[in-house]
Amino acid sequence: MNYELVCGLETHVELSTKTKIFCSCSTKFGGEPNTHCCPICIGLPGTLPKLNKAVVEYAVMAGLATNCKISPVSKMDRKNYVYPDLSKAYQISQYDMPLCRNGWVELSSGRRIRLNRIHIEEDAGKLVHDRGNTFVDYNRGGVPLIEIVTEPDLRSIAEVQEYVEKLQMILRYIGVSDCKMQEGSLRCDVNVSVRPAGQEPFGTRAEIKNMNSFAHMAKAIEYEYDRQVDLLMSGEKVVQETRRYDESSGCTEGMRGKEDADDYRYFREPDLVTILVSDEMRETIQKRMPEDPQKRIQRFLSEYQLPEADARLLIEHRRIADYFEAAAKGTKNPRTAANCILGQIFARLGTEAEKEQFNVTVSPENLHALILLLDTGKIRMNLVKSTLEKMLDSGKPASDFLSEKDLAGISADDLKAICEKAISDNERAAADYRAGKEKALKAILGSVMKATRGRANPQETEKLLADIIRR
Amino acid sequence: MVTHEEIMKIARLAKLSVKPEELDGLTKDMNSIINFADTVNSVAAADSDFDNLNNLANVFREDTVVPSFDREEILKNAPNQEDGYFLVRRKM
Amino acid sequence: MEQYSLILKLGKLLRSGEISCTELTQKFLSAAEKENKRLNAFVKLTPETALKTAAEVDRKLAAKEELPPLAGIPMTLKDNISTNGMETTCCSKILKGYVPIYDATVWKILKEQHAVLLGKANMDEFAMGSSCETSCFGGAKNPHNTQRVAGGSSGGAACAVAGNLAAFSLGSDTGGSIRQPASFCGIVGLKPTYGAVSRYGLIAYASSFDQIGPLTQSVADSALVYDAIAKYDPMDSTSSKKALPAFSSLGKDIRGIKIGVPKEYLEGIREDVKSALQSALKVYESLGAEIVEFSMPSIKYSLPVYYILACAEASSNLGRYDGIRYGYRTDHYADRNEMICKTRSEGFGAEVKRRILLGTYVLSSGYYDAFYKKAQNLRGTLIKAFEDAFAHCDVIAAPTVPMTAFPLNFTARDAVETYLTDICTVPVNIAGLPGISVPCGFGSDSMPVGLQLIGARFSEPALLNTAFQYEQAARSDVFRAVETGVAL
Ligand SMILES: [Mg+2]
Ligand SMILES: [Zn+2]
């Protein structure tokens, strides 16, 4: 019998706010243990949480970018469980009134993966286990998270991967998270079940916790699929449980000793008050959000006539897309602007992180000015490249590297004189041309271009040369 | 009636260890307290759910960093610490 | 106004130079040291802090600087109010040795006012109790009769004020913990409207009930302290901007006001307490107030509602005491989980464990709807009932406690029987209202009896004035000073 894979994802994403969700400590990744801490985030008795406004705004943005309904009324709840990485013995989260509901993310196939909810909560600290000793660091404790929960809509490992990549792209793009799996700012819990192909009801699911790389996630799902299919084929049952993926063996295993741990005794957080998102607040946030990346790609194709591949590369990082638009807008040569970025500028940004940062010495205004020089015929394409190199080296505008003469252009009389001199210097070539050798003209053109340091327009010069020779 | 098993389950959730000799007394105590609490179920529920006492909403903090505490202060009250971490040492 | 106000009297002595703040502080410190052996009001004295503040006040007085009303006034803080650099234990073994690294907002305010902190006051462990006897340091005694309890949970705070060992105390009131010991010790105790005073730094028992307030010898003193501490605090999301100053309202005529008396508050009340209350109502009639009896049936289930909700919150609030970041840790354990369970079992006392277990039970799956959710619903009903009541009357009058101070070791017998003694105080906490207990005479055992007045939300100015008018009219008949402690 053929079995179909059914997956649902719970994705925890760390928001890139400056401060933690309930205190003013920095959210910076890394740092010596327990140096981003205060009485609130280590849960000292008597301290109280105070909700970071930016967390609500970022979560609403994430909701809007994934087509969610934003709840006009929501609240925070306590999820109670005692574990050393949780300084208060409860996680402040959202239980029955999440901030966002009922959204979707569209895959390239056109299939929509439905989102059940997005809620805000706090991250836990970090435990380091060493020979039975437990070391606790609360730097990450209280870093804001959104948890994005899908319906069981994913049907293959490829879909899971595409969904997560799409999500990463969207969240990075709107600037709410850097979604770095390797730094743990994006982590997935995967619910896996199988059912006979064509069967409507879902099978019993197992939840694999805390996946932080695509490779592991793919292996874990594959292993879990095989395990569940084996069980069913041999007439056994899948038990609903939480499983852990073991990287060394590539297997998943049931987590023991968690018998009552799922009784979280949720109740409303009495130290915090109701969250209301008015239409006005939602619209203000919506206005501040950047254009939807899918729509922006389409616009880049029609508005700037970019090749689709170039448009995609530019849009991968919002800063780069914004930079491109600032440089290209209102010019006649948007593709040159794109080429400058994808060629010369990218050549200087080795890593993805550097691209994400996009610290470029040339301001978009200066690149824009350079493209305008090209538009107005003040410089030629060959000069664009060398000038941009100098600009990138120094951070100075193009005008610093172009002499009066470069920019002045050439008068018709001067050009005529230069052409006449070039013809007399190349008598042979002129004679060949007269004899019908069209190509001979190129040699004369070359020396004119050299003499004018590229400032002459090749087409016009060619015509002028032909006229003089024929005369 | 609350059973021994239920008391043990509740104690596990609350991370309290109950010695076998304490179990009878505790179960008796808890039964009388729970029976007392159960009197709320002799009253019909009304349409009056409770939100928060002063009906406050949207009390927020701006996203501005304030320097964190010195680690020495953070760890000052820890029963055990090492290398800047809170530490629970394994005991044999 | 100044007639019964100890704070104003001390302020005058200091400003006139009749006594220096250092002398005054030393008087109180030595009295506290001497009397504490008998009364156990303080669990820690803080002479260094006290004398340092006093010296500063003396300096400012000498420089003729303008000082706030509480400057130089000797006072205590209940030991669940966090004091930076000074041990704060909630009178629990699990927090012994814990030294906060930040100040509670109320203490920050009092420090700015240069109030003189004499020490930390005794209390029931984590504010759970009615006698102060669940304190890991042993209970505070009643200054009127040391064979009786001071009450709880702010027993030490009440004891210090009644015993003339401090001019005022800050206590906390979750289900009556300021008003009940004030009643037992024959002083004034004010539980402000929920949200009027910041909870930041108050070690939580039940977050949606807890409120800090003053214990004083007079209503005017309560108003002075209330005015100082009832400030909006950005650190507490439940803190309100609606609190209004009360002291300036004292002395206003109360002729024509309506005082409601719900008959449910009079059921099961000891006869001598009931007759003290009735005499107090007669005084009000003579002042021109109208007494209206009415019925509030929802009062009847306020006790189980309170115990369900408060214990649910407590079970969550007290989860953090795991021996990792602060406080007690057990010596012997096999693994980390056992360390946590043993630390908690050894560190918490029996009453605290009972309430954690009840709270865990009412929140656990299968019981949540029948207990927590139902109680939350009834909380809404009770809030409505009070709103309706205040549509018909200005203030509600009731006994503070159905009896006078218990004999020592009385409450240990039966948990539920002890819970029942909170019947008159908990409705105020459930509804987040202000309530004040003022002395209104003596029981047949000649122990003090308290009159409780309850107001609408943020009506402290009117509520305190109503109490003040009674005090002015009846003080000599209903108040008895204790002979020991500092006499001035
Ligand atoms: Mg979560
Ligand atoms: Zn912090």
Nearest CA in chain A to B69: A38
The β-bridge partners of A229 are none
Alpha-carbon radius of gyration of chain B? 23
Do A89 and A70 lie in one domain? The reply is: yes
AA identity, residue C39: L
Q: What is the residue-averaged pLDDT of chain C? A: 96
User: Using CA atoms in the order A66, A69, A70, A71, what is the torsion angle rounded to 10 degrees?
Assistant: -140
Tell me the residue type at B30: M
* Same domain, residue pair A216 and A259: yes
**C93 alpha carbon, distance to own chain's centre:** 22
CB contact under 8 A, B71 and A38: no
Question: Which chain A residue has the Cα nearest residue C106?
Answer: A46
Scanning every residue of chain C, which has its alpha carbon at the shortest distance from the alpha carbon of B52?
Answer: C208
Q: State the ligand closest to the CA atom of A121.
A: 1
Chain B and chain C share a number of CB contacts under 8 A equal to 161
Cα–Cα distance measured from residue B52 to residue A274, given in angstroms and rounded to the nearest whole number: 8
Q: Residue B43 C-alpha to ligand 1 middle, in angstroms?
A: 36
Given C153, C154, C218, C239, which residue is catalytic? C153
Please tell me whether residues A228 and A188 are part of one structural domain.
yes
Interface test with B, best of A44, A51, A58, A135 (most B CBs within 10 A): A135
Task: Return d(Cα C318, Cα C105) in angstroms, integer.
Answer: 21
| Closest CA relative to residue C98, chosen from A43, A141, B17 | A43
Whether residue A258 is predicted with pLDDT greater than 60 in this model: the reply is: no
Indicate the CATH number for domain B4-44: 1.10.20
- Told to judge if C240 belongs to the known catalytic residues of this protein, a careful annotator would answer no
pLDDT above 60 for A294: yes
The CATH number given to whatever domain includes residue C213 is: 3.90.1300.10
Which among B63, C165, C362 is positioned nearest to A176, based on CA atoms? B63
Of A50, A87, A132, the CB nearest to C320: A87
Rounded to an integer, the average pLDDT of C52-80 is 97
Task: Please report the pLDDT score of residue A364 as a whole number.
Answer: 92
Contact flag A47-C200 (C-beta cutoff 8 Å) = yes
The whole-chain average pLDDT of chain A stands at 91
- Residues A16 and A165 reside in one and the same domain: yes
B10–C338: do the CB atoms touch at under 8 Å?
A: no
CA distance A139 to A11: 21
pLDDT at B61: 98
Whether C314 is covered by a domain: the verdict is: no
Longest CA–CA separation in chain A, Å: 101
Of A393, A408, A423, the one marking the end of a domain is A408
Task: Say what the pLDDT of residue B92 is.
Answer: 58
CB-CB neighbors (< 8 A) of A270 in chain B = 52
Question: Percent of chain A, pLDDT > 90?
Answer: 64
Cβ neighbours of C365 in A, within 8 Å: 263, 265
Told to judge if C93 belongs to the known catalytic residues of this protein, a careful annotator would answer no
Beta bridge pairs of residue C214? C170
Are B14 and C362 inside 8 Å of each other by CB?
A: no
- Supply the range of the domain harboring residue C202: 6-263+274-295+384-478
Distance from the alpha carbon of residue A40 to the mean position of ligand 2, in angstroms: 5
Contact criterion met (CB < 8 Å) for A273 and B52: yes
Which chains have 3 or more CB–CB distances shorter than 8 Å to chain B? A, C
Of A194-198, A371-375, A432-436, C344-348, the range with the highest mean pLDDT is: C344-348
Residue A137 pLDDT > 80 = yes
pLDDT in tens, A39-91: 999 999 999 999 999 999 999 999 999 999 999 999 999 999 999 999 999 99
pLDDT at A269 over 90: yes
Can the peptide bond before residue C153 be classed as cis, meaning omega within 30 degrees of 0? yes
Mutate which of B15, B38, B81, B92 to test chain C, going by most C C-beta atoms within 10 A?
A: B15
CA distance C427 to chain B (A): 13
Rounded to the nearest angstrom, the minimum Cα separation between B39 and chain A is 21
**What is the complex's ipTM, to 2 decimals?**
0.97
User: How many angstroms away from the CA of C236 is the closest CA of chain A?
Assistant: 6
Q: What residues make up the domain containing A153?
A: 3-283
Which residues in chain A are contacts of B55 at CB distance < 8 A? 274
**What does DSSP say about strands A133-137 and C141-142: parallel, antiparallel, or unpaired?**
unpaired
Number of C-beta neighbours around residue C210 at 10 A: 26
- The last residue of one of the domains, among A283, A311, A335, is A283
d(CA C327, CA C90) in angstroms, rounded, equals 11
Please judge whether C380 and B46 are an interchain contact, meaning their C-beta atoms are less than 8 angstroms apart: yes
pLDDT tens digits, residue range A376-414?
Answer: 877 878 788 888 999 999 988 888 887 766 665 677 788
Residue C468: CA count within 13 A, CB half-sphere: 26
Chain A residues with at least one Cβ partner in C under 8 Å: 39, 42-51, 78, 80, 82, 84, 87-90, 132, 134, 136, 263, 265-267, 270-273
Question: Which ligand neighbours the alpha carbon of A139 most closely?
Answer: 2
CA dihedral of residues C419, C423, C424, C429 (deg, nearest 10): 80
Domain locations along chain B: 4-44
Of C177, C183, C239, C315, which residue is the catalytic one?
A: C177
Residue C96: active-site member = no
Which of the residues A143, A271, A273, A285 would you substitute to probe the B interface, choosing the one with the greatest number of B C-beta atoms within 10 Å?
A273
pLDDT band at B4 (very low <50, low <70, confident <90, very high): very high
Domain boundary among A408, A441, A459: A408
Q: Which of C411, C354, B61 is nearest to A40 (CA)?
A: B61
- DSSP letter (8 states) at residue B69: P
Mark yes or no for CB contact C319/A88 under 8 Å: yes
Inspect the interface and report whether the beta carbons of C363 and A270 lie closer than 8 Å. Answer: no
Start-to-end Cα distance in chain B: 39
- What are the residue ranges of helices labelled H in A118-234? 157-173, 214-233
Render pLDDT for C375-416 as a digit per residue (tens, 0 to 9).
999 999 999 999 999 999 999 999 999 999 999 998 767 888
For residue A460, is pLDDT > 90?
no
Q: What is the DSSP letter of B40?
A: G
Determine contact, residues C440/C474, Cβ cutoff 8 Å. Answer: yes
Tokens standing for residue A405: 């003469």
| % of chain C exceeding 90 in pLDDT | 96
Where does residue C216 fall: left (phi above 0), alpha (psi -120 to 50 degrees), or beta otherwise? beta
Task: State in Å: Cα B56 to ligand 1 middle.
Answer: 26
DSSP, res C237: T
- C405 inside domain: yes
Closest to A174 measured CA to CA, from A328, A23, A63, A302: A63
Q: Are residues A193 and A221 in the same domain?
A: yes
Distances (CA, A) of A18 to A38, A140, A328: 15, 13, 32
Comparing A409-418, C130-139, C432-441, which segment has the lowest mean pLDDT? A409-418
- The residues near C191 (Cβ < 8 Å, ≥ 6 apart) are C173, C176, C178, C179, C211, C213, C428, C429, C434, C435, C436
Q: Contact, C141 vs C149, CB < 8 A?
A: yes
Q: Residues C410-426: what's their mean pLDDT?
A: 86
| pLDDT(B82) > 80 | yes
Residues of chain A neighbouring B12 (CB-CB closer than 8 A): 259-260
| A133 contact residues in B (CB cutoff 8 A) | 87-90
Residues A273, A354: one domain?
no
Query: Has this prediction a pTM greater than 0.95?
Result: no
Cα nearest neighbour of C101 on chain A: A39
Contact yes or no for C238 and A46 at CB 8 A: no
> What's the distance, Cα to Cα, between the start and end of chain A in Å?
87
Instruction: State whether residue A94 is helix, strand or coil.
Output: coil
- Rounded mean pLDDT of C167-190? 98
Chain-chain contact of C339 with B91 (C-beta, under 8 angstroms) = yes
Grouping H, G, I as helix, E, B as strand and the rest as coil, residue B16 is coil
Instruction: Look at residue C261 and give its three-state secondary structure.
Output: strand
Residue A373 pLDDT level (bands cut at 50, 70, 90): confident
Which residues make Cβ contacts (< 8 Å) with residue C462, sequence separation at least 6? C249, C394, C395, C455
CA angle C69, C89, C240 (to 5 degrees): 50
- In a mutational test of the C interface, the residue from A131, A133, A134, A271 whose CB has the highest number of chain C CBs within 10 Å is A271
Alpha helices in C40-86 (DSSP H): 47-62
For C309, the closest chain B residue by CA position comes to B37
| Minimum-distance CB partner of A32 among B12, B59, B84 | B84
Q: Quick one: CA dihedral B62, B63, B65, B68, positive or negative?
A: positive
CB within 8 Å of C369: residues ≥ 6 apart: none
Tell me the residue type at C214.
P
Write out pLDDT tens, residues C322-343: 999 999 999 999 999 999 999 9
Residue C336 has its nearest CB partner, among A39, A44, A134, at A134
For residue A403, how many other CB atoms are within 10 A of its CB?
8
Contact A413, A379 (CB under 8 A): no
Kindly identify the ligand whose nearest atom is closest to the C-alpha of A47: 2
Phi–psi pair at C69, nearest 5 degrees: -60, -30
- From the list C88, C102, C237, the residue facing A50 with the nearest CB is C237
Q: How far apart are CA C349 and CA C164, in angstroms?
A: 30
Q: Dig out the tokens for B67 from the structure.
A: 């320097």
Question: How confident is residue C321, by pLDDT bands cut at 50, 70 and 90?
Answer: very high
**How open is the CA angle A308-A313-A316, to the nearest 5 degrees?**
120
Q: What is the pLDDT of residues A162-202, one digit of tens each?
A: 999 999 989 998 999 999 998 889 999 999 999 999 999 99
- Give the A window 233-262 contacts with B, CB below 8 Å: 259-260
B3-22 in b/e burial notation, b at 16+ Cβ within 10 A?
eeebbebbbbbbbbbbeeeb
Q: Which one, of C273, C268, C351, lies nearest residue C314 by Cα?
A: C351
pLDDT at residue A409 in the model: 66
Q: Quick one: pLDDT band at residue A256, thresholds 50, 70, 90?
A: low
Closest CB to C341: pick one of B16, B39, B78: B16
CB contact under 8 A, A53 and B62: yes
Domains held by chain C: number: 1
pLDDT class of A459 with cuts at 50, 70, 90: confident
Identify the pLDDT of residue A291.
Answer: 85
Instruction: Return the DSSP state at C293.
Output: E
What is the Cα–Cα distance from A6 to A274, expressed in whole angstroms?
A: 36
Domain count across chain A: 3
Q: Which chains have 3+ CB pairs within 8 A of C?
A: A, B
Nearest to B78 among C325, C378, C379 (CB): C325
Q: Where are the beta strands (DSSP E) in C271-428?
A: 290-294, 395-399
Nearest to C329 by CA among C353, C347, C356: C347
Asked if residue C350 has pLDDT above 60, the reply is yes
